[in-house]
Structure 1
Amino acid sequence: MIKKLLIIFTSLLIFNNIYSQERKPLYGIISDSLDVINNVHIINIQSNIATATIIDGTFKTFAKVGDTLKITSIQHQTKKYIVKKTSFGFNQLKIYLQPKIYELDEFEIKKHNLNSVLTSDVDKTPINKNHERVKNMVNEIKRMDFSRPIIEKLDFIESNVKPTKVTVDPIQKVLENGLFFGTKQSLSNGKNSKEYWDLRKELKFKKNFPKKLLTELGNSFFYKDLKIPKEKYYHFIEYCNLKEIEELYKKNELLKVIKILQEESISYLKIIKKD
C-alpha cells in the first residue's frame, strides 16, 4: 500500500513538473500614464514567439514561468518582463511603459518675414519641386472656416477626433474641377485608366494618413509631448503637410517626420493662441 502511494505521489510530481514546463496562454494589457497603447510588440526571448497589442491595448501570447518578454514601442522605452506564476490567472497581466524623450540636435532659426498669421504666412513658404501639390493644399487651407470646429464626430482612435465625412466621390470631384496636374483631361477615359486608379490610391492614402500617424506615434506624443489640442489634431497635420511629412512617411523616414512635427508644433501653438 505504501509503495502504491509513493508511486502515485511521484507520478503526480512528474506530471506537475512537465505541465509547468509547457507554455500556456498569457493574456495582458499594456498602457502608459495616459491610455492603453496600440501596436506594441511583445517577443518571448526564449521561444521567439511574437505578438502585438490591438487597438484596446490587449495581447495574447504563450509563455511559462521564467520566460522573458521583450516589450517594444516606437514611442516608449523598451521593457523586459519576467513571467511569474502570478502572471497567469483570471485577471489580465498589466504592464506599464514609460514614454521616450527625444533630444533634437541644436539648430539655428533663420531670419524670415513671417508674421505668425496662418493665411498670409503660407503664401511666403518656399515652394519646392512639388509646386502644384503644395499650391492646392494652401488653397484648401485658405478656404477653411476656422470659426467652425474641424471635428464633428467620434471614432475609435480618439474620443474627440474625427475627420469631416466625405459624401461625394473624390475622383469625380477631381474630374469636374481638374485639380491635379491637368487631370481633367488625362482622367477623362474613366475608371479603366491607370491615372484614375493611381489618383484613387493617392486620395485614399491622404484620407487615412492622419489616423495612421496617430495610431503609430500614439496619443501621448501629440497631446502630451507636443501639447496639440485634441480638437486641432487634423488641422495641425494639414499645417505640417507643407513640410511634406506624407512623402517622408511613405519613404519610412519616420524620425524626420517626428522632428518636423516637433519643430512645427512650436509655431503652430503660437498661431492658434493668437487666434
Structure 2
Amino acid sequence: MKKLVLAVLATAVLVGCKTSPTGRTQIALYSDSQMSEMGTASFAQMKESQPINTNVKTNAYVNCIADKVIAVLPDEYANQQWEVVVFEDDSANAFALPGGYIGVHTGLLKIATNQDQLATVLGHEVGHVIAEHSNERVSQSSLISTGLQLGSVALEMGDVQYRNEIMQGLGLGAQYGVILPFSRSHESEADTIGLDLMAEAGFNPQESVTLWQNMSAAGSGSTPEFLSTHPAPSNRISSLESQMSKAIQEQSTARANGKNPQCTL
C-alpha cells in the first residue's frame, strides 16, 4: 500500500509539472476549467456575503486601472471577460481569482493613493492568476494531506511510540517549512509579474515602492516574516528596486506606443 501511494504521488507530480512565467518549476494538478469553477463559486459567495460599493466614480476609477492592466495580459487572459467588484471593506486588500474576477476593498484606496499605486496591487493580484498560484496551492495542499495521511498509517502500522506527537511535529514542519515559505515565493513572483504588467500598461513602476512604503507606515507586514505568508515590506521594496531599471524601460516603451493611463478618482 505504501509503495502504491508513493507511486500515485510521484505520477501526479510528474503529470502536474509546469513552468511559471518567471521560469520556476511548479506543480499544478487541476485543469483550467476546474480552477475557473472554483473562482466563480468563490466570487459569487463573496458578492452575496460582503457589501458592494456602488459609487459610480469609485467603480469607474478602479475599472479604468483594471482594464489597462488586463489589456497587457497574455491573450488567453486578456481576451476573457473579467468582472471587477469594489467591496465595502476597511482592509487594504485586493484579490484576483481564476475565471476572470477581481475584487478591490475600499480600504485599499486610502493606501494606494494614485492610479500607479493601485495598478501595482492589481498587477500583483492578476499575476497570481496568470502564474496559476491558486492551482499550485490547492495541488500542494492535496499532496501534503496525502503525505501526512500516509505517514500516520505507517507510524500506526509500526506501532511507533509517541506517534501522535510525531504527526503533530510533521504538521508544523509542513506549515513552516513548506507552506508558508512557498507562499512567500508566490508573493515575490507576483510582485515581479505585477511590476512588469503595470509598466507595460504605461503606469509608473516607481510608485510600486511608494505603495509598499505606505503599507509599511499603515502597519501592514508587522508579523515576523518567518511566520508570515508575505515577505516583509522592506524585502519587497528591495526586490522591486532591484528590478526598477528594466521596469522603467518597459514603461518608456509603453508610453512611446501610446499607453498613457489617465485614471482619476
Q: What TM-score, normalized to structure 2?
A: 0.30
Higher relative contact order structure (alpha carbons within 8 Å, sequence separation ≥ 6): 2
- Structure with higher Rg: it is 1
Structure number with higher strand proportion: 1
Q: What TM-score, normalized to structure 1?
A: 0.30
